[in-house]
A and B are shown apart, each in its own frame.
Chain A
Amino acid sequence: MTAEAELSNSTQPKVRLAERFDDWLNPVVIKELRQAVQSRFVITALLVLLAIQIIAVAIYLITATDISFSYDAGRTVFMILFGIMLAIGMLFVPLYSGVRLAAERSETNLDLLFITTIKPRSIIVGKMLAAVVLTVLIFSACLPFLTFTYFLRGIDLPSMAVVLAIGFVSVTLSAQIMIFVACLPVGRAFKLILGLIAFVLLVIGYISTMASAGGMLWEGIGSKVGSANFWQWVGIIGLNYVFQLGLLLVLSIALIKPISANRALPVRLYLTVIWVIGGLVALLGSWVEATHDPVIYWQASFNVLFAFSIFTSVGERDWPGARVLRALPESDGKRLLRFFFTSGSANGLAWTVMMIVATYDVCWIWWRLFPNFSDLGELVDSTRWLTVMNLYLFCYALTAAFLRRHLLKRIPPNLTWLIAIVLTAIGSTIPMLIGMLIFMNDLNWWREDYGLWLVGNPFVWDVAAHRNLYLSIGSFWAVLAIAFNLQWFLERIRGFRFIDPTDRLSVGELE
């Protein structure tokens, strides 16, 4: 055996391992990183970041006169450098990821990926991982400067690590928000408006991250790291972060999936799973701390999510489509369960109502079981308030669906949510405006009867004097709305059956 052959034999396993690793990598991550390292935008941003950091440290060291006596110098410089890094990270990484995806999300570019073996999940996860790698790159570039502040005194390593972790969480969450916005199936102009809104949110996020990180740093983190309370908060924030990131991720995946796919499945499955996990954590926390606070937070967060779900559900496709129906199980039980997790207007509404009722039931059982826990009143009040809010939104949504089917046939089903929003706006404001016009100078009306005219507003539960009226009218309307939509709903249930290929024409008629 020659020396060359020996050498090649000895390196072969390494090469094979490297190749296997290369094959295993998500293609989207590789493409994104290849594009990033060749992008002038990325290179310029990194160089500007480093230059600003050097200039900032130099200016501070030159101008600070009492640096030898100051015990805050490290902390101050750290916050300056962290602020610069976070500004670049929270603005640059999300904008870079979002704008690039939005530009590539021309229908054809993504279509090209759909006809490969790559899954929509890999596309979004790949984009997100690339954003994470960019974030790590930015953080790594800044790390030497940040570590340098340790020698200026006033900051310890655990504090640095915690603040950096907060920064990392904020940057990655911001990137995922922008990726989500980029995936929305709207026109360029509307996407630009949404992008600007998201940008304002990023700026607000930046300010709040800086404020919370600064506050924690000045209060001192190092001393708290050993306490259980600290880790309890880390756990809660961490869980929230994972839930939110995951939700944005599954929503983005659903948005880029072909319309013929069961886009709702991962979203509803994910929401159900985090509803269960979040609920268990909230109940456990409530039981340990003897307070209803965690349950209030849990039910409020999910009721708000369900409010969005009501409106998005009525805008879903009317029928799940042949591709989805062909994949249905033949067994009745399994099919019934699948009904709630399948794309479709009726399916979405059924799932949302089921979840709202389940949330109310869990809260009801909990406050009956533990009436002595603190914040009982807040739990009862907030649960009823949000449930009635969702009752009204459900009525508006069903009314919109009915109107669209019978009177506004020219409006496509995917815009039913818009009709529902217009109806909500009309129902919330017009009665009140009429009342104001009629009784403008009547002081008694303003004192006592004014709340009556808010009856169509889903958000007025806090006007305690008229709660019975709000609930009665809402319930009556819900019964009417259900009655008017019952035939449509039953048809969807009857049509939700396994079909075989020979049955294609009937599927066509359904569509």
Chain B
Amino acid sequence: MKVEVSNLKKYFGSTRAVDDVSFSFASGQVVGFVGPNGAGKTTTMRILATLDEPTAGQATIDGVSVIEDPERARQLVGYVPDSLPTHRDISVHEYLDFFARAYGLKSLKRRQTVDSVEEFTNLSGIRDKMLVALSKGMKQRVTLARALLHDPPVLIMDEPAAGLDPRARIELRELLRVLSGQGKAILISSHILTELAEICHGAVIIEHGKILMAGGIGDLLSDSVPRRTVLIRVLGRQEELHRELLQTPHIESARLNGEEVAAEVSGTDEACAELLAAVIARGYRVVEFKQQRANLEEIFMNVTKGVVQ
């Protein structure tokens, strides 16, 4: 199972909402779709969910084109939009039963599916509660449950964590981990980048309709930040180490923070390993040597300009 987006374009008049976007991801992968407001995330996701038609380009799910064969593609996609259900006078169970019917599930199979999805999303206890009476977190779970009713191999989730409290966010993160473990391919957009970094295998950073960066989280971190910050704590001789580091090749800068020396190392993990070996060889008693990793937020800030269309 592979989701492939190639040279996707969507123009609204002279506005290029999505401009030649290409990326792909596979079963079991969670991919973060990151970008400022108006970057083209929702438009791309709506195209993948068969709700919009691109101006040009192609998007396929397991080889099925969402453009040429939307009916078949719909069977493969579960879509979680950025808004919560607003239906009045309907309980959680009735709401899910309605969508199970809408997906064409029949009698016993429908009942079993709704029950199991309720159980998976931890909704069994509140299945008879009215939808409008639910908290945002509960509603988000209902939305996720609705998207899972037809057991799609691909989930497209547009800002699912928006407005959720920390507990609900953690619960959602756990559900996504389980779903990814079940082999579902998940494309998720969110503004809460620290959370994305924790669950995502890869990320696509988009701005002004164009992809700025895409790849595995590890690759992105190394690609976007060519320098690494290494924190070294030694027993005594900190000032001496600081001076020595300033004269060492691959070290761009170094500063003394109390008992710790922070060094900016240019190069790969190899350079860091060599630095550690050199520090030990010079007789320093190393207590701690750690690499301070850049996070997704930092990458995002580095590569985007905050341009909104």
Contacts and interface: CB of A to CB of B under 8 A. Distances in A.
Which of B13, B57, B107, B108 has the most C-beta atoms of chain A within 10 angstroms of its own C-beta?
B107
B53 A113 contact: no
Contacts of B81: 108, 111-112
Which of A19, A108, A323 has the most C-beta atoms of chain B within 10 angstroms of its own C-beta?
A108
B189 to A, nearest CB: 15
Interface residue tally of chain A, by bracket? 35 or more
B89 A39 contact: yes
B86 A260 contact: no
Given A35-B89, A412-B13, A504-B57, A113 B67 contact: no
A333 interface: no
A27 B68 contact: no
A215 interface: no
Nearest to B73: A115
B146 interface: yes
A158 interface: no
Contacts of B108: 19
Interface string A41-67: 000000000000000000000000000
Per CB-CB distance, the 6 closest pairs between chain A and chain B, nearest first, are A508-B56, A27-B101, A116-B102, A260-B53, A35-B89, A19-B107
B194 interface: no
The dominant DSSP class at the A interface is helix
B106 interface: yes
Contacts of A38: 89-90, 130
Contacts of B107: 19-20, 22-23
Nearest to A119: B102
A315 to B, nearest CB: 15
Interface string A11-45: 00000000110110001001100111011000000
B102 A104 contact: no
A27 B99 CA distance: 8
Contacts of A19: 106-108
Nearest to A23: B106
Contact of A504 (B46, B56, B86, B106): B56
Nearest to B46: A111
B153 to A, nearest CB: 15
A163 B259 CA distance: 95
Contacts of A508: 9, 11, 54-57
Given A31-B98, A321-B53, A504-B57, 14 more contacts: A19-B106, A23-B107, A30-B98, A39-B88, A112-B99, A114-B51, A115-B74, A115-B79, A116-B99, A117-B102, A258-B51, A508-B9, A508-B54, A511-B55
B132 to A, nearest CB: 11
A224 interface: no
Contact of A112 (B11, B56, B88, B146): B146
A312 B88 CA distance: 34
Interface of B: 9, 11, 13, 46, 49-58, 65, 67-68, 70-71, 74, 77, 79, 81-83, 85-90, 94, 98-99, 101-104, 106-108, 130, 146, 150
A103 B90 contact: no
Contacts of B65: 501
A507 B67 CA distance: 12
A288 interface: no
Contacts of B98: 27, 30-31, 34
Nearest to A15: B107
Given A19-B107, A23-B106, A504-B56, A106 B89 contact: no
A31 B90 contact: yes
Given A501-B58, A511-B11, A30 B87 contact: no
26 contacts: A19-B107, A19-B108, A22-B107, A27-B101, A27-B102, A31-B94, A34-B94, A38-B130, A106-B83, A108-B83, A109-B85, A109-B86, A111-B46, A112-B146, A115-B49, A115-B79, A116-B102, A116-B104, A117-B103, A258-B52, A322-B67, A323-B53, A412-B13, A505-B56, A509-B56, A511-B11
A5 B46 CA distance: 51
A412 B12 CA distance: 10
Interface in A353-377: none
A115 B67 contact: no
A317 to B, nearest CB: 11
Nearest to A510: B55
Contacts of A36: 89
B51 A115 contact: yes
A118 interface: yes
A108 B88 CA distance: 15
A188 interface: no
A113 B99 CA distance: 8
B74 A103 contact: no
Interface string A96-114: 0000100110101101111
A323 B85 CA distance: 29
A109 B87 CA distance: 9
Contacts of A326: 68
Contacts of A108: 81-83
